[in-house]
Every structure is written in C-alpha cells, then in structure tokens.
Amino acid sequence: MALIDSRIDFNAFEISLKNKPSEMLVISPKGTVPVLMIGDKVIDESIDIMIWAYKNGNSTQYSNFEKKLIDIGLELISKNDNEFKVCLDKYKYSINYPSITNDDLRNSCLFFLDILEEKLENTLYLLSDRVSFSDIAIMPFIRQFANVDISYFLSLKHIKVQKWLHELINSELFIKAMIKPR
Ligand SMILES: N[C@@H](CCC(=O)N[C@@H](CS)C(=O)NCC(=O)O)C(=O)O
C-alpha cells in the first residue's frame, strides 16, 4: 500500500512461505516477507520499506507531516508490532492456547482498540483527516482481528475503529494493493 500510495513502480512476486524461492533467500536470508530490492539495496522490514517509499516516492504525506506527527505515528506502529500483534496471534491461533478462554484472548487485544478509538476521536484517520503511513501500517492487523469473528468485532463499542476499518478496506488504495501479482 505504501509503494502504491507513493506512486513507485514495482514488480510484485507472490511467495509461498512453505517453499521460499532461493532468489529471495539469497538477497534476504532471514526469509520473511515483504522484501524490497532496489538495484543492489535490499530492505526486508515492512516499516523500513514504508519509510523508504514515502521518502523516495511521489507522495508528500510523510514529508508534509510535522516531526511530532511522524513520531506519534511511529510510536503507534511500534505498539501495534510489539504489543498488539502478540495478543492478536494468540487470539488467531487460540487452538494453541487451550488453557486460555477465547474471551480472555480477545479481551487482551482490546487495549489497542481503545487507543485507536481515542486517536479517532477528533480526526477521520489516526494522525489527521487524511490516510497516513500509520493507518496503512496498522490497518491489516485490525482487519485480521476483525476477521477472526466479525460479529464480535461489530458488537464492540469501538464504533470509530469499525468505521475507520470499513473506509480503509473499501479504499481504492487497499483494493489496488489486494490485486494478486501475476
Ligand atoms: N518484522 C517483519 C515481520 C515479517 C514477517 O514475519 N512476515 C511473515 C509473514 S506475515 C513471514 O514472512 N514469516 C516467515 C515464515 O512464515 O516462514 C516485517 O514487518 O517485515
């Protein structure tokens, strides 16, 4: 989404994680996706790919943000990656945690939805009224959370998060990004 949003032309290759191609492992031995290669340069962390895209592409959103907003955005992403994702993975793979109830697993994720709901109190998106790198980085994980049990997600009091996710899922940017590479 960040590459498309920054109007960077790129070729995408779908990777089977069960059968990673040697071409990928040669350039990035850690074997995770996504990996971006630009000439000889390899970037293999999604947040670094996003930052590279916004700094090198044609989107002005990243450079237009004041430093304060960029820092707030990066802090939110770090909470998502380091705290929310841990709870989300347990909720998604609850079968591996038979001693914890499903209610407890999903309740432990709600702290992050509370934070997002508060962020969306005065703006349409997380940092401002425009979609930003923060929305793009966090939205796939909230979508995963929602999809575990959509009726539970829609029953939550987090009305603004629900609307935010709906807007992003139906955005041109997300629809474009979801087109499978050939
Ligand atoms: N922190 C990394 C995490 C990447 C990651 O773990 N990706 C998963 C797929 S969502 C993966 O490639 N896993 C490797 C595997 O399952 O073998 C990033 O954001 O780029």
* Tens digits of residue pLDDT in 20-65: 999 999 999 999 999 999 999 999 999 999 999 988 988 766 656 6
pLDDT digits (tens, 9 = 90+) for 103-112: 999 999 999 9
CA 178 to CA 181: how far, in whole Å? 9
Chain position carrying tokens 């923060």:
134
Pocket of ligand 1 (CB under 6 A): 17, 31-33, 45-46
Distance (angstroms) between ligand 1 centre and the Cα of 54 equals 21
Question: What is the rounded average pLDDT for all residues in the chain?
Answer: 94
Domain 66-174 has CATH 1.20.1050.10: yes
Share above pLDDT 90 across residues of the chain, in percent, rounded to a whole number = 87
Domain positions in the chain: 2-61, 66-174
Q: Indicate the Cα dihedral angle 73, 79, 84, 89, nearest 10°.
A: 100
Q: Which residue has the tokens 């005065």?
A: 122
**Contact present, 54 and 61 (Cβ < 8 Å):** yes
User: Which residue has a Cα nearest atom 19 of ligand 1?
Assistant: 46
Q: Point out the ligand 1 atom lying closest to the alpha carbon of residue 33.
A: 12
Nearest CA to ligand 1 atom 1: 45
C-alpha 157 to ligand 1 mean position (Å)? 31
Which residues, 6+ apart, have CB-to-CB distance to 77 below 8 Å? 47, 133, 134, 137, 138
Output the pLDDT for position 67: 79
> Domain 2-61 adopts which CATH fold?
Glutaredoxin (3.40.30)
Phi then psi for 94, rounded to 5 degrees? -60, -25
Cα(93)–Cα(88) distance, rounded to whole angstroms? 8
The whole-model pTM stands at 0.93
Residue whose CB lies within 8 A of the most ligand 1 atoms, among 16, 20, 27, 32, for a mutation test: 32
Using the mean position of ligand 1's atoms as its centre, give its distance from the Cα of residue 105 in Å. Answer: 22
Q: pLDDT > 70: what percent of the chain?
A: 97
The arithmetic mean of pLDDT across residues 111-118, rounded, is: 98
